[in-house]
Structure 1
Amino acid sequence: MTTKKLTWVSMLLAMCVLGANFKLLGSIALDSFPAFLGAMILGPVYGAFLGIAGHFVSALLAGFPQTLPIHIIIGFLMGICMFIFGLVRKKAMGDGIMVKAVSWLIAYIVSVPLNLLILYPVLHEVVFVLFVPLTIATLANLLISELVYAVLPSKIKNFGQSKVV
Protein backbone atom coordinates (compact mmCIF):
# COMPACT_ATOMS: atom_id res chain seq x y z
CA MET A 1 0.00 0.00 0.00
CA THR A 2 1.36 3.40 -0.96
CA THR A 3 1.45 6.38 1.35
CA LYS A 4 -1.17 8.13 -0.80
CA LYS A 5 -3.55 5.18 -0.58
CA LEU A 6 -3.02 4.87 3.18
CA THR A 7 -3.74 8.58 3.52
CA TRP A 8 -6.96 8.23 1.53
CA VAL A 9 -8.11 5.25 3.57
CA SER A 10 -7.31 7.08 6.81
CA MET A 11 -9.12 10.22 5.72
CA LEU A 12 -12.19 8.28 4.60
CA LEU A 13 -12.17 6.27 7.84
CA ALA A 14 -12.11 9.53 9.80
CA MET A 15 -15.09 10.68 7.71
CA CYS A 16 -16.88 7.42 8.62
CA VAL A 17 -16.37 8.29 12.30
CA LEU A 18 -17.75 11.80 11.73
CA GLY A 19 -20.72 10.46 9.77
CA ALA A 20 -21.43 7.92 12.52
CA ASN A 21 -22.31 10.84 14.77
CA PHE A 22 -25.18 11.92 12.50
CA LYS A 23 -27.78 9.37 13.59
CA LEU A 24 -31.23 8.71 12.19
CA LEU A 25 -32.15 5.85 14.53
CA GLY A 26 -29.92 3.70 16.76
CA SER A 27 -26.87 2.77 14.71
CA ILE A 28 -28.41 3.98 11.42
CA ALA A 29 -26.34 7.01 10.48
CA LEU A 30 -24.42 8.80 7.74
CA ASP A 31 -21.39 6.58 8.27
CA SER A 32 -21.41 4.79 4.93
CA PHE A 33 -21.11 7.69 2.49
CA PRO A 34 -17.29 7.70 2.88
CA ALA A 35 -17.34 3.93 2.29
CA PHE A 36 -19.33 4.38 -0.93
CA LEU A 37 -16.90 7.13 -1.91
CA GLY A 38 -13.94 4.91 -1.05
CA ALA A 39 -15.39 2.09 -3.14
CA MET A 40 -15.62 4.48 -6.10
CA ILE A 41 -12.15 5.98 -5.69
CA LEU A 42 -10.03 3.18 -4.21
CA GLY A 43 -11.95 0.08 -5.29
CA PRO A 44 -14.19 -2.59 -3.80
CA VAL A 45 -11.80 -4.01 -1.18
CA TYR A 46 -11.16 -0.65 0.45
CA GLY A 47 -14.85 0.22 0.21
CA ALA A 48 -15.70 -3.03 2.02
CA PHE A 49 -13.18 -2.28 4.77
CA LEU A 50 -14.59 1.23 5.20
CA GLY A 51 -18.18 -0.08 5.24
CA ILE A 52 -17.41 -2.59 7.98
CA ALA A 53 -15.38 -0.12 10.06
CA GLY A 54 -17.95 2.66 9.60
CA HIS A 55 -20.79 0.46 10.79
CA PHE A 56 -18.87 -0.75 13.84
CA VAL A 57 -18.06 2.82 14.87
CA SER A 58 -21.70 3.83 14.42
CA ALA A 59 -22.92 0.81 16.39
CA LEU A 60 -20.33 1.44 19.11
CA LEU A 61 -21.40 5.07 19.49
CA ALA A 62 -25.04 3.91 19.76
CA GLY A 63 -24.15 1.26 22.37
CA PHE A 64 -24.73 -1.74 20.06
CA PRO A 65 -28.54 -1.41 20.20
CA GLN A 66 -29.17 -4.78 18.50
CA THR A 67 -26.32 -6.59 20.38
CA LEU A 68 -22.76 -7.20 19.22
CA PRO A 69 -23.41 -10.46 17.29
CA ILE A 70 -26.13 -8.82 15.21
CA HIS A 71 -23.90 -5.83 14.50
CA ILE A 72 -21.14 -8.21 13.36
CA ILE A 73 -23.62 -9.61 10.82
CA ILE A 74 -24.68 -6.10 9.78
CA GLY A 75 -21.04 -5.02 9.42
CA PHE A 76 -20.32 -8.05 7.24
CA LEU A 77 -23.35 -7.21 5.08
CA MET A 78 -22.15 -3.61 4.78
CA GLY A 79 -18.80 -4.92 3.60
CA ILE A 80 -20.52 -7.07 0.98
CA CYS A 81 -22.64 -4.10 -0.09
CA MET A 82 -19.60 -1.84 -0.54
CA PHE A 83 -17.63 -4.57 -2.31
CA ILE A 84 -20.40 -5.21 -4.85
CA PHE A 85 -21.04 -1.47 -5.28
CA GLY A 86 -17.33 -0.83 -5.88
CA LEU A 87 -17.06 -3.79 -8.23
CA VAL A 88 -19.97 -2.54 -10.36
CA ARG A 89 -18.51 0.96 -10.49
CA LYS A 90 -15.01 -0.31 -11.29
CA LYS A 91 -15.95 -2.88 -13.95
CA ALA A 92 -18.58 -0.79 -15.75
CA MET A 93 -17.45 1.32 -18.66
CA GLY A 94 -17.64 5.04 -18.02
CA ASP A 95 -19.49 6.91 -15.32
CA GLY A 96 -22.87 7.14 -17.02
CA ILE A 97 -26.31 7.30 -15.53
CA MET A 98 -26.97 3.59 -16.15
CA VAL A 99 -23.86 2.56 -14.20
CA LYS A 100 -24.91 4.83 -11.33
CA ALA A 101 -28.48 3.52 -11.38
CA VAL A 102 -27.41 -0.14 -11.35
CA SER A 103 -24.85 0.44 -8.58
CA TRP A 104 -27.41 2.38 -6.50
CA LEU A 105 -30.02 -0.33 -7.00
CA ILE A 106 -27.63 -3.09 -5.96
CA ALA A 107 -26.43 -1.07 -2.95
CA TYR A 108 -30.03 -0.43 -1.87
CA ILE A 109 -31.10 -4.06 -2.27
CA VAL A 110 -28.14 -5.37 -0.25
CA SER A 111 -28.30 -2.60 2.35
CA VAL A 112 -32.02 -2.59 3.07
CA PRO A 113 -34.25 -5.52 2.00
CA LEU A 114 -31.54 -8.22 1.98
CA ASN A 115 -30.06 -6.99 5.26
CA LEU A 116 -33.47 -6.94 6.93
CA LEU A 117 -34.46 -10.31 5.46
CA ILE A 118 -31.30 -11.91 6.86
CA LEU A 119 -31.89 -10.25 10.23
CA TYR A 120 -35.60 -11.12 10.44
CA PRO A 121 -35.09 -14.48 12.21
CA VAL A 122 -33.30 -12.75 15.10
CA LEU A 123 -34.95 -9.31 15.16
CA HIS A 124 -38.49 -10.36 14.19
CA GLU A 125 -40.90 -7.40 13.89
CA VAL A 126 -38.17 -4.84 14.61
CA VAL A 127 -37.10 -5.08 10.94
CA PHE A 128 -40.36 -3.37 9.95
CA VAL A 129 -39.52 -0.42 12.20
CA LEU A 130 -36.02 -0.22 10.71
CA PHE A 131 -37.13 -0.29 7.05
CA VAL A 132 -37.95 3.41 6.59
CA PRO A 133 -34.98 4.90 8.52
CA LEU A 134 -32.60 2.45 6.82
CA THR A 135 -34.00 3.35 3.40
CA ILE A 136 -33.62 7.07 4.10
CA ALA A 137 -30.07 6.63 5.43
CA THR A 138 -28.98 4.43 2.51
CA LEU A 139 -30.33 6.86 -0.08
CA ALA A 140 -28.83 9.84 1.78
CA ASN A 141 -25.43 8.13 2.01
CA LEU A 142 -25.53 7.26 -1.70
CA LEU A 143 -26.58 10.79 -2.66
CA ILE A 144 -23.88 12.46 -0.55
CA SER A 145 -21.21 10.14 -1.94
CA GLU A 146 -22.29 10.86 -5.53
CA LEU A 147 -22.35 14.62 -4.91
CA VAL A 148 -18.87 14.57 -3.39
CA TYR A 149 -17.58 12.30 -6.17
CA ALA A 150 -19.05 14.61 -8.82
CA VAL A 151 -17.03 17.60 -7.63
CA LEU A 152 -13.73 15.73 -7.28
CA PRO A 153 -11.09 16.38 -9.92
CA SER A 154 -10.49 13.60 -12.45
CA LYS A 155 -7.02 13.01 -10.99
CA ILE A 156 -8.65 11.83 -7.76
CA LYS A 157 -11.46 9.94 -9.51
CA ASN A 158 -8.86 7.92 -11.41
CA PHE A 159 -6.68 7.36 -8.33
CA GLY A 160 -7.79 3.76 -7.85
CA GLN A 161 -7.00 2.87 -11.45
CA SER A 162 -3.44 4.26 -11.38
CA LYS A 163 -0.58 1.82 -10.93
CA VAL A 164 1.60 3.69 -8.47
CA VAL A 165 4.51 1.65 -7.09
Structure 2
Amino acid sequence: MKLRLLTLAAMFAALSAIGALIKIPVGIGSAALDTVPALISSLFLPPVYAGAASLVGHLASSLSAGFPLGPLHIIIALEMFVILFVFTKLHQKGYHFWKWVFFIVANSVLATLPFYWIISPAFFIGALPGITLATILNASIAMIVSPVVEKVMERVKTHA
Protein backbone atom coordinates (compact mmCIF):
# COMPACT_ATOMS: atom_id res chain seq x y z
CA MET A 1 0.00 0.00 0.00
CA LYS A 2 2.80 2.40 0.86
CA LEU A 3 4.49 1.78 -2.51
CA ARG A 4 1.20 2.59 -4.26
CA LEU A 5 0.96 5.89 -2.34
CA LEU A 6 4.57 6.80 -3.09
CA THR A 7 4.05 6.00 -6.78
CA LEU A 8 0.88 8.09 -6.96
CA ALA A 9 2.55 10.96 -5.10
CA ALA A 10 5.53 10.83 -7.48
CA MET A 11 3.18 10.78 -10.45
CA PHE A 12 1.24 13.83 -9.22
CA ALA A 13 4.49 15.62 -8.36
CA ALA A 14 5.70 14.95 -11.92
CA LEU A 15 2.40 16.24 -13.33
CA SER A 16 2.80 19.34 -11.13
CA ALA A 17 6.28 19.85 -12.56
CA ILE A 18 4.85 19.60 -16.08
CA GLY A 19 2.05 22.03 -15.14
CA ALA A 20 4.74 24.39 -13.87
CA LEU A 21 5.98 24.75 -17.45
CA ILE A 22 2.59 26.05 -18.60
CA LYS A 23 2.82 29.78 -17.85
CA ILE A 24 0.10 32.37 -18.32
CA PRO A 25 1.14 36.05 -17.92
CA VAL A 26 -0.71 37.79 -15.08
CA GLY A 27 0.25 41.06 -13.47
CA ILE A 28 3.87 41.23 -12.38
CA GLY A 29 4.69 37.63 -13.11
CA SER A 30 3.02 34.61 -14.57
CA ALA A 31 0.57 31.98 -13.38
CA ALA A 32 1.60 28.38 -13.73
CA LEU A 33 -0.70 25.38 -13.73
CA ASP A 34 1.45 23.54 -11.18
CA THR A 35 -1.25 23.34 -8.52
CA VAL A 36 -3.92 21.60 -10.63
CA PRO A 37 -2.42 18.08 -10.28
CA ALA A 38 -1.78 18.64 -6.58
CA LEU A 39 -5.43 19.63 -6.06
CA ILE A 40 -6.58 16.55 -7.95
CA SER A 41 -4.21 14.39 -5.90
CA SER A 42 -6.30 15.19 -2.82
CA LEU A 43 -8.89 12.76 -4.21
CA PHE A 44 -6.48 9.83 -3.96
CA LEU A 45 -3.69 10.65 -1.54
CA PRO A 46 -3.36 11.28 2.18
CA PRO A 47 -2.73 14.93 3.15
CA VAL A 48 1.05 14.59 3.53
CA TYR A 49 1.47 13.12 0.05
CA ALA A 50 -0.81 15.71 -1.60
CA GLY A 51 1.12 18.46 0.20
CA ALA A 52 4.42 16.99 -1.00
CA ALA A 53 3.16 16.97 -4.60
CA SER A 54 2.27 20.64 -4.25
CA LEU A 55 5.64 21.49 -2.69
CA VAL A 56 7.47 19.83 -5.60
CA GLY A 57 5.17 21.56 -8.09
CA HIS A 58 5.94 24.99 -6.68
CA LEU A 59 9.69 24.37 -6.63
CA ALA A 60 9.53 23.18 -10.26
CA SER A 61 7.51 26.26 -11.21
CA SER A 62 9.92 28.66 -9.53
CA LEU A 63 12.90 26.82 -11.01
CA SER A 64 11.46 27.13 -14.50
CA ALA A 65 10.98 30.88 -13.90
CA GLY A 66 14.56 31.35 -12.64
CA PHE A 67 13.77 31.64 -8.89
CA PRO A 68 12.79 35.34 -9.07
CA LEU A 69 12.35 35.51 -5.27
CA GLY A 70 15.46 33.46 -4.53
CA PRO A 71 15.37 31.42 -1.32
CA LEU A 72 11.95 32.87 -0.43
CA HIS A 73 10.52 30.18 -2.72
CA ILE A 74 11.27 27.68 0.05
CA ILE A 75 8.79 29.56 2.27
CA ILE A 76 6.22 29.54 -0.54
CA ALA A 77 6.75 25.81 -1.14
CA LEU A 78 6.19 25.12 2.56
CA GLU A 79 3.04 27.28 2.46
CA MET A 80 1.82 25.23 -0.50
CA PHE A 81 2.47 22.04 1.46
CA VAL A 82 0.36 23.28 4.38
CA ILE A 83 -2.41 24.61 2.13
CA LEU A 84 -2.74 21.29 0.26
CA PHE A 85 -2.50 19.36 3.52
CA VAL A 86 -5.49 21.28 4.93
CA PHE A 87 -7.32 21.16 1.57
CA THR A 88 -7.01 17.37 1.53
CA LYS A 89 -8.20 17.12 5.15
CA LEU A 90 -11.26 19.23 4.25
CA HIS A 91 -11.92 16.98 1.25
CA GLN A 92 -11.68 13.85 3.39
CA LYS A 93 -14.15 15.31 5.91
CA GLY A 94 -16.65 16.08 3.15
CA TYR A 95 -16.36 19.88 3.12
CA HIS A 96 -16.41 19.99 -0.67
CA PHE A 97 -17.52 23.61 -0.98
CA TRP A 98 -15.38 24.97 1.86
CA LYS A 99 -12.20 23.27 0.66
CA TRP A 100 -12.33 25.46 -2.48
CA VAL A 101 -13.05 28.61 -0.49
CA PHE A 102 -10.18 27.77 1.84
CA PHE A 103 -7.80 27.08 -1.08
CA ILE A 104 -8.59 30.33 -2.88
CA VAL A 105 -8.29 32.49 0.25
CA ALA A 106 -5.25 30.67 1.66
CA ASN A 107 -3.31 30.46 -1.60
CA SER A 108 -3.97 34.04 -2.68
CA VAL A 109 -4.22 36.20 0.44
CA LEU A 110 -2.75 34.19 3.33
CA ALA A 111 0.24 32.80 1.43
CA THR A 112 1.10 36.26 0.09
CA LEU A 113 0.62 38.08 3.39
CA PRO A 114 4.07 37.31 4.92
CA PHE A 115 5.67 39.08 1.97
CA TYR A 116 3.95 42.30 3.08
CA TRP A 117 6.59 42.42 5.84
CA ILE A 118 9.39 40.34 4.25
CA ILE A 119 9.60 42.37 1.02
CA SER A 120 7.24 45.37 1.15
CA PRO A 121 3.59 46.42 1.25
CA ALA A 122 3.92 47.51 -2.39
CA PHE A 123 5.03 44.00 -3.40
CA PHE A 124 2.06 42.48 -1.58
CA ILE A 125 -0.43 44.85 -3.24
CA GLY A 126 1.20 44.37 -6.65
CA ALA A 127 1.41 40.58 -6.42
CA LEU A 128 -2.03 39.89 -4.93
CA PRO A 129 -4.17 40.35 -8.09
CA GLY A 130 -1.95 38.08 -10.21
CA ILE A 131 -1.68 35.42 -7.54
CA THR A 132 -5.44 35.53 -6.95
CA LEU A 133 -6.07 35.12 -10.67
CA ALA A 134 -3.61 32.21 -10.84
CA THR A 135 -5.25 30.59 -7.81
CA ILE A 136 -8.74 30.89 -9.29
CA LEU A 137 -7.47 29.52 -12.62
CA ASN A 138 -5.83 26.50 -10.98
CA ALA A 139 -8.89 25.87 -8.78
CA SER A 140 -11.30 26.19 -11.72
CA ILE A 141 -9.41 23.69 -13.84
CA ALA A 142 -9.16 21.27 -10.91
CA MET A 143 -12.90 21.66 -10.16
CA ILE A 144 -13.74 20.77 -13.76
CA VAL A 145 -11.28 17.87 -14.06
CA SER A 146 -11.74 16.28 -10.60
CA PRO A 147 -15.20 14.73 -11.17
CA VAL A 148 -14.03 13.25 -14.47
CA VAL A 149 -10.93 11.74 -12.86
CA GLU A 150 -13.06 10.33 -10.01
CA LYS A 151 -15.42 8.63 -12.50
CA VAL A 152 -12.52 7.17 -14.44
CA MET A 153 -10.95 5.82 -11.26
CA GLU A 154 -14.28 4.25 -10.23
CA ARG A 155 -14.50 2.49 -13.60
CA VAL A 156 -10.91 1.32 -13.30
CA LYS A 157 -11.66 -0.15 -9.85
CA THR A 158 -14.77 -2.00 -11.06
CA HIS A 159 -13.08 -3.40 -14.19
CA ALA A 160 -9.73 -4.28 -12.65
Distance (Å, rounded) in 1 between the aligned partners of 2:126 and 2:43: 30
Show structure 1 runs of 5+ residues with no match.
93-98, 158-165
Deviations 1:46-86 (A, max 9, x none): 11101111000101111110111x11111111011100100
Residue of structure 1 in register with 2:108 after alignment: 112
- Decide which of 67, 70, 80 is 1:67's aligned counterpart: 70
* RMSD of equivalent CA atoms: 2.0
SS at match of 1:40: coil
Structure 1 segment 1-165 matched on structure 2, within 5 A: 1-25=1-25, 26=29, 28-68=31-71, 70-92=72-94, 99-124=95-120, 125-154=122-151, 156=153
Structure 2: any 5+ residue segments left out of the alignment?
A: 155-160
Count residues in correspondence: 151
3-state SS of paired residue (2:24): strand
Could you tell which deviates more after superposition, 47-56 or 147-156? 147-156
Q: Residue 158 of structure 2 aligns with which residue?
A: none
Q: Evaluate the alpha carbon distance shift between residue 155 and residue 3 of structure 1 in structure 2; reply closer, same or farther with a 3 A threshold.
A: farther
Q: Give TM-score scaled by structure 1 length.
A: 0.82
| % identical equivalent positions | 31
Give the 3-state SS of the residue equivalent to 2:43 in structure 1.
helix
- Cα-to-partner distance string for 1:2-32 (whole Å, 9 max, x where unaligned): 4433332222112111110112354641101
